[in-house]
Amino acid sequence: MSSPQIVVVAGPTATGKTALGILLAQRYGGEIVSADSMQIYRRMDVGTAKATPQERAAVRHHMLDVAEPWENYSVSRYVEEASRCCEDILRRGKLPILVGGTGLYIDSLLSGRDFAGREEGDGKVREELCARYDAEGGEALLRELASFDPERAAKLHPGDRRRIVRAIEIYRLTGETISAHDRRTQALPPRYESARIHLNYRERADLYARIDARVDAMVKNGLFDEVASLLGEGVSPACTAMQAIGYKEAAAALRGETSRPEAIDAIKQNSRRYAKRQLTWFSRTEGALNILWDGAPDFEKALRVSTEFLASRGLS
């Protein structure tokens, strides 16, 4: 196996990914590429636990603040922009360190998955299909999908408007079914060789306590003010960015739909649920170094263990 081109530091929220990523970047002369689907947005700093100005001064960071909160950012755009960052870092003889908890972003970037036509699509075709869905119903369009892609149709519910429309749209535009596309791209070799380090707590209760403490810190550091500012500049509560955990609950409290304490409790609960989903995603990865914190992070030990792991992969 060749030496890794990219080091990945991943795991659920509140596990110290940013801190370890910075230590590794300093150790190997690397630069950090964020893999967080919400840290891409400008002026969304507190609620996304974005790297602080001091942390960014210590190590160069990429893929932070690259989109406006009202933009509909896609995984295909992330792969395109983040891969440009990685190529630039590699050209300069440095090590890209991919840090974040959005598993789809990480896996898509490393695999070099081809999203051509799948995200952008064609506005007229999509508009026509959406109108047909509304007029004829999901069952009718699902039958149409089944006529040329029974494999994907069997996985979808008639009420899943977005995925049904997307599957038909892609076939209309490219002549290739999504099922065939996925099989083809999954068979391709990965774009980047990687070494992956996953962080977590040995005891689930410690992870949840850390999440709760982080939420309390976010509130103290001005989460509700940040959300109020975004709403005040006209960012719609319905846009993707404002559906992020922390933002949608705070926005509901600011509208008077719930109390602030209730919103804070909801943020903690939804963050814990999200962490469980992240753990499920990352558990599928083979060959990763799993670092489990006992009560509190020990970054000195983690750096040592990570260095030994990366040396075994040919990175010195």
Question: In a structure prediction context, what are the per-residue pLDDT tens digits for the chain, which is 316 residues long?
Answer: 456 799 999 999 999 999 999 999 999 999 999 999 999 999 999 999 999 999 999 999 999 999 999 998 888 899 999 999 999 999 999 999 999 999 989 998 998 765 544 444 556 788 899 999 999 999 999 999 999 999 999 999 999 888 899 899 888 888 889 888 778 766 667 789 999 999 999 999 999 999 999 999 999 999 999 999 999 999 999 888 999 999 999 999 999 999 999 999 999 999 999 999 999 999 989 899 999 999 899 999 999 999 999 999 998 8
Q: 151 and 290 in one domain?
A: no
The residue segments making up the domain with residue 15 are 6-112+190-312
275 shares its domain with 137: no
**Are 245 and 285 in the same domain?**
yes
Domain boundary among 186, 201, 228: 186
**What is the CATH number for 80?**
3.40.50.300
Can you give the pLDDT at residue 178? 85
Both 178 and 211 in one domain: the answer is: no
- Do 235 and 272 share a domain, yes or no? yes
Same domain (yes/no): 17, 105 = yes
- Whether 270 and 277 have beta carbons less than 8 Å apart is answered as no
Question: Are 12 and 86 part of one and the same domain?
Answer: yes
Q: Indicate whether 118 belongs to any domain.
A: no
Q: Are 83 and 197 in the same domain? A: yes
Please tell me the total count of domains within the chain: 2
Do residue 81 and residue 199 come from a single domain? yes
Whether residue 128 is found in the same domain as residue 34: no
Which of 134, 157, 186 finishes a domain?
A: 186
Q: How far apart are CA 57 and CA 38, in angstroms?
A: 21
Q: Which of 186, 209, 237 finishes a domain?
A: 186
Burial per residue of 202-225, b for 16 or more beta-carbon CB atoms within 10 angstroms, e otherwise: eeeebbbebbbebbeebbeeebbe
**For position 131, which CATH number holds?**
1.10.20.140
